[in-house]
Amino acid sequence: MPKTEYVIEPGKQEIVTTTVLDAPRELVFRAYTDPKLFAQWWGPRRYEIKIDTFDSRPGGEWRVVHRGDDGAEYGFRGVNHDVVAPERICATFEFEGVPGHVALQTATFEPMGNKTKLVAQIVFQSVMDRDGMVASGMQEGSNESMERLAELLEKLSKEKAGR
Amino acid sequence: MPSDQLSTTFAALADPTRRAILARLSQGEASVTELAKPFDLSLPGVSKHLKVLQRAGLITQGRSAQWRPCRLEVARLKEASEWVGEYQRFWDESFQRLDEVLQDLIKEEKKKSDGKGSQDNAED
């Protein structure tokens, strides 16, 4: 199972995610650019995924919809700015639930023998946009305690105050 | 939750002072005066933030007691987090799945090249 590291520094408007995958980068690149493969992995399993548009060429548009058990749909869209096989993909990203907040994401595939180091950077338009995205993930499911929530909120406020 | 509601919630969460207010309220009810204290905010200033939080359904304000305590509404926070915004979980699970897709691809390719190399390989 790949181990992923997240760097979310206070006061910055980016998130950098690093993970090492046990596959050559040509395959990783394929899994990112082939809609059939992409649909098999992007997002949590509990969502049904619908690929609406998926043009993996520079300038090509993409739109993917997640559907929950309750029928609620969550759309994501963007444009591929740069697609360089098998090294890099740079694309815009927008959650349609919060339109107008467009982020720029770059996935870089570095070879490590037969493995691939995948560095995914996402840059938001503001620190607030980024923190909003991260804050939205602060609570999962119904079993989590209030303490956990309080801790997270406190951490977020401290990060702000500590600058 | 409809997406415009979601936007309202996230817009409310996007401000550090408002998150700090929510953090304070997660420890229990508080009056507007109590909430204003740690933030160096004027009462009208904190009231403005409270209004945004209230509109987003993240807090409610009591009517009965004279000090009108503010209370955290956890349900809305939970709703807001139910979509993909749980950034880390989203990607942890995605990379897990990506890994599975890649291992399948590797197996397929291996089968293909094995097939080419020795047709009578009966091991599979």
| pLDDT tens sequence across A88-132 | 999 999 988 888 889 999 999 999 998 999 999 999 998 878 877
Of A30, A45, A138, the CB nearest to B81: A138
| B71 interfaces chain A, CB cutoff of 8 Å | no
Q: For chains A and B, what is the number of CB pairs under 8 angstroms?
A: 151
Phi, psi of B84 (to 5 degrees): -60, -10
Cα–Cα nearest to B34, from B46, B44, B19: B46
| A37 has pLDDT over 80 | yes
φ/ψ region of A79 (left if φ > 0, alpha if ψ in -120 to 50, else beta) reads beta
Domains of chain A: 4-126 (3.30.530.20)
Nearest residue in chain B measured CA to CA from A22: B99
Q: pLDDT: is A141 or B88 the higher one? A: B88
**Domain residue extents for chain B:** 3-82, 85-115
pLDDT at A138 over 80: no
CATH number of B3-82: 1.10.10.10
- Per residue of chain B (124 residues), what is the pLDDT tens digit? 444 666 677 778 778 788 888 888 888 889 988 898 888 888 899 999 999 999 989 999 888 767 789 998 877 776 665 543 457 778 888 899 999 999 999 999 889 888 875 555 444 4
Tell me whether B107 touches chain A (CB under 8 Å). Answer: no
The ipTM of this complex is 0.71
Burial code (b: 16+ CB inside 10 Å, e: under 16) for A29-50 equals: bbbbbeeebbbebbbbeebebe
In this predicted model, which residue has the larger pLDDT, A69 or B76? Answer: A69
Asked if B97 lies within 8 A of A22 by C-beta distance, the reply is: no
Instruction: Name the 3-class secondary structure at A59.
Output: coil
Residue entry with tokens 């990379």: B95
Residues of B in contact with A142 (CB under 8 A): 78
The answer to whether B94 contacts A1, with C-beta atoms less than 8 Å apart, is no
